[in-house]
Structure 1
Amino acid sequence: MKDVHPHEPTLGNPGRGTVLAAWEQFVQGEDHVRGVRPEVAISWHRCRERYRVDPHLTAAPAAVGRSDHSVEHDVVFTELGGMAASLAPEVNNLSGIVTVTDATGRVLAAWGDQTTLAKAHESNLAPWSCWSEGAVGTNGMGTALEVRGPVLIRGAEHWCQAFHNWVCAGIAVRDVVTGEPIAVLNISNWRTHLPEATGGWLTQAVTKTQSMLKRHARDTGTELAAAFSKAREASGAALAAVDTVGKVVIADDQASLHMSVPAHTPAVDPAVRWNSALPDLIGVARYASKHAALDPDWVGSTQIFTHLTDEPTPISVRPVFLAGRLAGHLIAFGSSDGAQLPPVEGRKGSPGQPRRLVALRDNRMVLLRPREVQFAESDGNDVWLSTDQGRLRAASQGLDKLDGELADAGFLRVHRRYVVNLKRVREVERTCKGELYLVMEGTTNDMVPVSRRNVPVVRRALGI
């Protein structure tokens, strides 16, 4: 059987000797090596530069004892555990093992072939050991926590030499609101390939679990919209409801002007919630979520810059709970109720650190300044950048993540598949059917569609 990856060609994969030679060069300090898949090269960079993992480590370290799991996370672990147990007979026939980890890379349970389980114990591939990239470098479980979609790591692609005889495939379950990983389902074999069906098994298992999380997130969105309506009856302040990461579920007329989102347009589904184009609000929401989780009665206030004035606007933040779980916050503009939050970093006019985007060209990484990017387009989990250096694949996966990173750099989500650099919009074209397109600055004059729901936001952002 041949091993495959859902996002890579099945032909022309580099052989073990090529990857091993590249690994030897890279651990000795070389930056650009040939014959290594881009996602693996990027992981190696993280291991060497950020995490400083010893490539000659022989076993995974013990996981920390403290746990911050929520009830929702416990439900996910139980769900994945049942799926892993159901996969165990299939995996056992392949002399492999299946594992479930939490968001820290801690192995919670392992099933499968007894001989392979015993071999795995020699490297601490067992419950209560930590397999994050920060602990043991590139591996199926740890790398799945870092990127979206299925991950396949074969032989010498592992950062630590002691794991070069393993082949593993992992996929993370992610919070549908925050995008943060919750758990990983992983299949590992010792010195044998994984079958073609592996990617399908993993994706099917995680899709079922993600569907449960999406239903729950829609429930929290509905609760936020209901809390907004109730608060509107008792308050004359400009009001909006945002989720735990600052995405807008609904806003009234005045709040919509502050946030550059449509007024009275509920977005209960997390996939269609509005980005407010207020970078400060993202930090405020995350800070408030952290404190409200510890103290349900907490209420805070601060000041943020909006699009309506050059002076900061006071806001108050009031948490909203659903069945004891934090759903999001009500944001009242012009209000100063509650405890004062620390000053928000990165405000308008303050000098920021130069930001770079990492893109891929073959096996090389390209560092881009935001002004070099005209727009980003999603294609499944991949994101393609239209740049002054041509069309490049972004190193980070998922348009939502890129959208959040660039919210304060003049970029705007105009369509579920497109984020544009507003400074690179040259023309706006409307068709006879009323559809809006943005003609981007550049040699190719690319046209980016604007979804109907985003037209008011785009018009306001462009001043038209």
Structure 2
Amino acid sequence: MGRAGTIDVRATRAAWERFAEGDDDVRGVDPTILASWYRCRDVHNVDPRHHRPADDAPRTPAGVDAGVFARLGCIAATVADRDDRLLATVTDGAGHIVAWWGSTAARRRGERAQLAPSFGWAEHASGTNGMGTALVEAEPVSVQGPEHWCEALHAWSCAGVAVRDEVSRAAVATLNVAAWCGGVPVLPAAARAELAAIRAELRERAMRDGAVLAGALVDGTGPGTPLLAVDTAGGVVAATPAARRRFPDVPVGVAVDPAERWRPAGDTLRPAVTAVAVAARADAHWTGTAELGSRLGGVPELLRLTPVDAGGRMVGLLVAPAGDEVDEVSVVAGQPPGPPVPDRVAAVRDGRMLLLAPAEIRFAEADGHAVWLATDIGRVRAVTRGIDRVAAQLAPFGFARIHRSYLVNVARIREVNDSGRGALTVSTQLTRNERIPVSRRNALVLRETFGL
């Protein structure tokens, strides 16, 4: 779990000292750690000399199976039993420790560092650490000694991994293993297999929920027949031909797999679904309306929203024409206020952090969880991991998802090539033999965009 090998402790400590004092020319630090340091220093303003984790009660998000925490607890207990020096913890999705496992000596030492139940280890409170950084990153993370942002933790090494909801991709829990004055702990193969099994079951549940939503759409009849079935993250699971006629951007068909579901640019359905979930928890028979037509690529239109339940959980909602039923409770579907969208994109090359203007980026390509950016200064790796997260970051700047693995700056497209049988590729440079694939689902949208 996390990176293999060890770091040069003295060199990393020196780099930490320089960075904490405001020096940005830091080399030799792992890019994931360096990105976390930037967040801690420049976004969260965490004091590296004082560690003050929040002390709040852990919270289990609505709809999260308690079995996830029980199974993570079994892994943590098994790992802690292998070595008296190890302290294993499980947190909720906000980084608050739910429970811990370890020898009496390990727990006593952890308690002095506030590595104990109820303390919060999100990055904004505790800086770079295995639990908090795992909540941010798409992959497992390891934090060794002075890679921790807070100096009080420099004697610890830890490895953390988050378990995420397969629909929203939000972290629901983390597993962390910490060691005092030792190397980064490594999860045994059995523990890694159990983590994989937990993720597989969450994925299977998400697909079953998708099938329930698609079935609810098919069962709808009458003048208010539903047009769309939408999951709890605002992804379209299924759409009828009538929906396509009303909203040309919405693909017709069924996407049981969460990774294949269509989302409007800017994720504009998510706030409405979140509001519906809150209302549905308070009233199981709740229905309401919202202006979602323009957000789905059509004209402004009031639509009726009806929650869909499966086993006591809201798994999504049906979207139907509102008709004259405007006396129902209205849902405010605007984006909630939040921090302004940064006008720079962080990337790493040769150990240096670069801040790029979106216009400098021609396209983005996924390579596993890593995302590579083709830019005017060459190929660099985005600090943000996961193509979905990079897509959300770049959507306000005119980038379009043209393939599961590619985003393209629409303003930089210079050539569209028809490869036959409806397959398209695009190029952002006329002087190179560049062929960026376009999925069949997105080919029609691209043709309509350019009048092809």
Instruction: Give the TM-score normalised by the residue count of structure 2.
Output: 0.89
Q: Structure 1 residues 202 and 440 mapped into 2: Cα distance closer, same or farther (>3 Å)?
A: farther
**C-alpha distance in 2, partners of 1:441/1:292?**
50
Cα displacement (A) at 1:204: 3.3
Cα deviation, 1:274-311, whole Å, max 9, x if unaligned, reads 223475333323332333333333323232425766x5
CA–CA distance in 1 between the matches of 2:202 and 2:291? 33
1:72 to 64, 75, 96: 64
* Shift in CA distance, 289/386, structure 1 to aligned 2, threshold 3 Å: farther
Structure 1 unaligned blocks of 5 or more? 347-351
Deviation at 1:446, TM superposition (A): 2.4
Question: 1:43 corresponds to which letter in structure 2?
Answer: S
Aligned to 1:25: 18
Verify the 8 A CA contact 1:170 1:202 in the aligned structure 2: no
- The Cα shift of 1:203 comes to 4.5
8 Å CA contact 2:224–2:321 kept in 1: the answer is no
Determine the structure 1 residue equivalent to 2:89: 99
Tell me the CA shift for residue 413 of structure 1.
Answer: 2.2
Cα-to-partner distance string for 1:42-99 (whole Å, 9 max, x where unaligned): 211222222222222256442x13635335242211111122222233344xx22221
Residues 40-439 of structure 1 correspond to what in structure 2 (within 5 A)?
40-58=33-51, 60-62=53-55, 64-65=56-57, 67-70=59-62, 72-92=64-84, 95-194=85-184, 197-198=186-187, 203-231=192-220, 233-235=221-223, 239-257=227-245, 258=247, 260-263=249-252, 265-277=253-265, 279-304=267-292, 305=294, 311-333=299-321, 335=323, 337=326, 338-342=328-332, 344-345=334-335, 355-432=343-420, 434-439=422-427
Q: 2:272 touches 2:333 (CA, 8 Å); kept in 1?
A: no
Give CA deviations for 1:197-229 in whole Å, capped at 9, x if unaligned.
Answer: 438666434321111111111111011101111
Q: Assess if the C-alpha contact under 8 Å between 2:57 and 2:96 holds in 1.
A: no
Q: Output the CA distance in 1 between the equivalents of 2:408 and 2:419.
A: 19
Asked if 2 retains the 8 angstrom alpha-carbon contact of 1:259 and 1:277, the reply is no
Q: Which whole-Å deviations, capped at 9, do the CAs of 1:102-145 have from their partners, x for residues lacking one?
A: 11211122223433222212112122222221221111111111
Change (3 A) 1:308 1:380: closer
Tell me the amino acid that sits aligned with residue 119 of structure 2: S
Structure 1 residues 35, 179: closer, same or farther in 2, change over 3 A?
same
**Preserved CA contact (<8 Å) 1:60 1:125:** no
Q: Which string of whole-angstrom CA distances, capped at 9 and with x for unpartnered residues, describes residues 314-369 of structure 1?
A: 222221111110111112246464322336259xxxxx866432222233332233
Structure 2: 5+ residue stretches without partners = none
What SS does the corresponding residue of 1:221 show, helix, strand or coil? helix
Please say if residues 436 and 450 of structure 1, whose CA atoms lie closer than 8 Å, have aligned partners that are also in contact: yes
Distance 2:283 2:449 in 1: 37
Count of residues in correspondence between the two structures: 445
Change (3 A) 1:382 1:80: same
Partners of 1:163 and 1:202 lie apart in 2 by: 26
TM-score, normalised via structure 1 length: 0.87
Q: 1:393, CA displacement in angstroms?
A: 1.0
Do 1:132 and 1:143's aligned partners in 2 also have CA atoms closer than 8 Å?
yes
Output the CA distance in 1 between the equivalents of 2:79 and 2:132: 20
Residue aligning to 1:349: none
Amino acid paired to 2:249? S
SS across alignment from 1:290: helix
Query: How much is the aligned-residue C-alpha RMSD, in angstroms?
Result: 2.7
Q: Which amino acid aligns with 1:418?
A: Y
1:26–1:342 Cα change, 3 Å: same
